């Protein structure tokens, strides 16, 4: 095999490796092709910019998310966290109605930039008030009537619900299934790199301070705006076209809910996107209760949360680099959708037999890492053979209302057994095992339907 040393126009990932590594690229090229597939020059450009955008979004989210519980613990009290999650469920109904209206008013890229600017300015305002002598940290008496703590918690929860779902809707509306199998790991790699850095900053809260980290998170969110503009400038319009170009008239704010309830495939996505959140919420609260006993101060608690985030997202990054694309292309979406509930079931069993902090933490690191690197891209791929109303409006109900409902259900279970840790462990485990069984059945159905839709070039509207 003669390896060209004078390649200047890059057609795919193999030629890109030849430029940088010359004659030594052949073996590396085969390895990259085996794990990732052959990405064209335009695909590398497209998914790299999308990865950069998601880097800012998820990096900021993890930085703020790991601060969220520390702020709530300091201002309101950790005992009220399940109540805050249930309140967020009610709040999100109004958010999803407003979001559905915004989808009709703005293009997807413009909406992503508008909401990024809104949340960026919002977190800068929060950072200012965290230093207030009575509203913020200088007041060291935690109380349930300190409404600023509730607002911060709910604002961060809404950011995660709206922005992550909106980003993926933006991506899937401009991506085809075969390209997604190769390129989505690049997006995930960008996200996990950002989440590791965000968690690392949070793990060093005692050096940076909570207020500075909120300011840094706000700056990261605002950086999404120029990243989207770069994407629109660099990526040709032809490469931003997805599977469905049919234009539909503007619909009502409840259209997404109607689609969700009337399309079995979309309802299956709803189940897959939410059922894990019930299980995760149950065991996440158990982990935080155990951690609160070991790390009593807000700085130590935030540092623990930061380290948890680093380990979780490091696992997700490694898996995204070497496993996600390979499993999707080699075994198909149905296999990937079913692998995650099986792994979750094994982890639930481990927590049941060894309910101590480091086992619970390790178990959650495994399932969270697989969720980010395998389940999330698999879940988002299911939206590719759908129309705009499904990707944005139905997805809005799934990600916001469905996600909050699932977390609210998990929080209700936590509240019901709040005074009895052993009962929470036993019944929470039994409930989780039952949910895993339902999860597997739905994953099999949706995976089969996705294969049928993509092979026959059909679209769910």
Which residues, at least 6 apart from 362, have a Cβ–Cβ distance to it below 8 Å? none
The radius of gyration of the chain from alpha carbons, rounded to an integer in Å, stands at 22
* Global pTM value: 0.68
What is the DSSP secondary structure assignment for residue 243, as one 8-state letter? S
pLDDT of residue 420 exceeding 80: no
Helix (H, G, I), strand (E, B) or coil at 281: helix
Taking the C-alpha atoms of residue 426 and residue 423, their distance in angstroms, rounded to an integer, is: 5
d(CA 395, CA 170): 11
pLDDT category of residue 207 using cuts at 50, 70 and 90: confident
- Backbone dihedral region for residue 332 (phi beyond 0: left; psi -120 to 50: alpha; all else: beta): left
**pLDDT surpassing 90 at residue 266:** no
Residue ranges covered by each domain of the chain: 1-38, 39-455
What does the alpha-carbon distance between residue 135 and residue 53 come to, in Å, rounded to a whole number?
Answer: 33
Confidence at residue 3, expressed as pLDDT on a 0 to 100 scale:
43
Architecture of domain 39-455: Up-down Bundle (1.20)
Joined together, the tokens standing for residue 64 give 């703020």
pLDDT at residue 65, as a whole number: 83
In this structure, are residues 187 and 47 in contact, taking their beta carbons and an 8 Å threshold? yes
Structure confidence by residue, pLDDT tens digits, 190-200: 888 888 888 78
pLDDT for the residue numbered 253: 56
Give the helix/strand (H/E) hosting 73: helix 41-75
Predicted confidence (pLDDT) per residue in 303-351, tens digit = 787 788 778 878 887 877 776 777 777 788 888 888 888 988 888 888 8
Tokens matching residue 14 = 């193999």
Determine contact, residues 215/55, Cβ cutoff 8 Å: no
The average pLDDT across 10-34 equals 49
Mean pLDDT for the chain overall: 79
Buried residues in 78-93 as b, exposed as e (16+ CB within 10 A): bebbbebbbbbbebbe
Residues 219-236 pLDDT 10s: 999 999 999 999 988 888
pLDDT band (50, 70, 90) for residue 103: confident
> Percent of the chain having pLDDT more than 70?
86
């Amino acid at each position: 095999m003669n390896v060209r040393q004078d390649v200047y126009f890059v057609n795919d990932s193999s030629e890109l490796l030849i430029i940088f590594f010359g004659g030594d690229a052949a073996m590396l090229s085969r390895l990259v092709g085996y794990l990732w597939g052959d990405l064209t020059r335009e695909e590398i450009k497209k998914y790299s910019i999308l990865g950069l955008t998601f880097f800012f979004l998820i990096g900021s989210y993890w930085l703020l998310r790991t601060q969220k519980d520390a702020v709530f613990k300091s201002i309101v009290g950790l005992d009220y966290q399940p109540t805050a999650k249930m309140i967020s469920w009610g709040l999100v109904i109004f958010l999803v109605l407003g979001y559905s209206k915004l989808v009709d008013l703005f293009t997807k890229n413009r909406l992503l930039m508008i909401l990024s600017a809104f949340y960026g300015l919002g977190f800068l305002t929060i950072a200012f008030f965290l230093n207030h002598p009575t509203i913020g940290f200088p007041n060291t008496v935690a109380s349930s009537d300190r409404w600023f703590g509730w607002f911060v918690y709910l604002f961060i929860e809404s950011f995660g619900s709206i922005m992550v779902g909106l980003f993926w809707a933006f991506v899937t509306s401009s991506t085809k299934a075969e390209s997604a199998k190769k390129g989505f790991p690049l997006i995930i790699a960008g996200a996990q790199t950002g989440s590791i850095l965000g968690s690392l900053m949070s793990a060093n809260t005692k050096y940076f301070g909570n207020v500075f980290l909120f300011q840094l998170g706000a700056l990261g969110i605002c950086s999404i705006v120029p990243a989207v503009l770069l994407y629109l400038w660099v990526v040709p319009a032809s490469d931003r076209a997805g599977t469905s170009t049919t234009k539909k008239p503007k619909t009502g704010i409840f259209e997404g809910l109607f689609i969700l309830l009337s399309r079995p495939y979309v309802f299956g996505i709803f189940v897959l996107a939410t059922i894990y959140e019930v299980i995760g919420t149950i065991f996440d609260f158990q982990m935080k209760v155990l951690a609160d006993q070991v790390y009593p101060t807000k700085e130590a608690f935030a540092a623990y949360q930061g380290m948890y985030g680093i380990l979780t997202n490091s696992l997700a990054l490694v898996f995204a680099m070497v496993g996600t694309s390979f499993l999707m292309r080699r075994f198909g979406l149905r296999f990937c959708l079913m692998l995650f509930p099986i792994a979750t079931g094994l982890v639930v069993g481990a927590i049941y037999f060894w309910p101590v902090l480091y086992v619970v933490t390790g178990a959650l690191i495994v399932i969270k890492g697989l969720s980010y690197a395998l389940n999330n891209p698999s879940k988002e791929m299911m939206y590719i053979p759908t129309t705009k109303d499904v990707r944005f409006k139905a997805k809005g109900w799934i990600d916001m209302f469905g996600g909050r409902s699932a977390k609210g259900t998990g929080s209700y279970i936590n509240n019901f057994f709040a005074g009895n840790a052993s009962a929470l462990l036993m019944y929470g485990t039994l409930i989780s095992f039952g949910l895993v069984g339902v999860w597997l059945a739905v994953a099999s159905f949706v995976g089969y339907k996705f294969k049928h839709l993509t092979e026959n070039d059909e679209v769910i509207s």
